[in-house]
A and B are shown apart, each in its own frame.
Chain A
């Protein structure tokens, strides 16, 4: 079974530029998560989708971050404009269930550096 796929793996941009990340979850997984992991910290949930609907986006900085999950499969996370503090690893995870109690499977992440 293929795991969670993410691209690109690395991205370097200058502040005020825009960037987009892509995630393909495990086939059949209803729930998709985007996490931000700043160096030296644990992952922090940004947004949770169930199928193509948003379940929780309370921690998403909506003035600059946006995310969508078209057709309930792939998802993109966009930052526009980027700030220095957005430098982090962005992890995508998927789960077969719809609750935070269901095990999540993580992708390799996208490491973003904002200069």
Chain B
């Protein structure tokens, strides 16, 4: 059974500093998604990682995938307030399995 774990679950960030969110999954999955969810809103797709070693970047966010380690990371460079939200990773098996989410809060 595919399980997805994210850590940390909460991250209080200071503006301008760098942080990383980790997403581990338990069984083989060759496709990993990252979503952003603002309070009261639906899920917004950020990245789709398709293969081992895949790296994608958008603005201050960079996601990578290591299928051998069953690990994806979401790296935040120079955090800004606009990045405050909850971020979910999801691994594709027979169904899409989500982690519990990481809630980011950026303070100045």
Give A residues with C-beta under 8 Å from B: 33, 40-45, 48, 56, 91, 99-101, 103-109, 111
Contacts and interface: CB of A to CB of B under 8 A. Distances in A.
A105 B45 contact: yes
Contacts of A101: 30-31, 92
Contacts, number: 45
Nearest to B2: A100
A109 B96 contact: no
Contact of A100 (B35, B41, B45, B92): B92
Interface of B: 4, 30-31, 33, 35, 40-43, 45, 48, 88, 90, 92-96, 98-101
Contacts of B4: 42
A40 B100 contact: yes
20 contacts: A40-B100, A40-B101, A41-B100, A41-B101, A42-B88, A42-B90, A42-B98, A42-B100, A44-B98, A91-B42, A91-B43, A100-B93, A100-B96, A101-B30, A103-B33, A106-B35, A106-B42, A106-B43, A108-B41, A108-B42
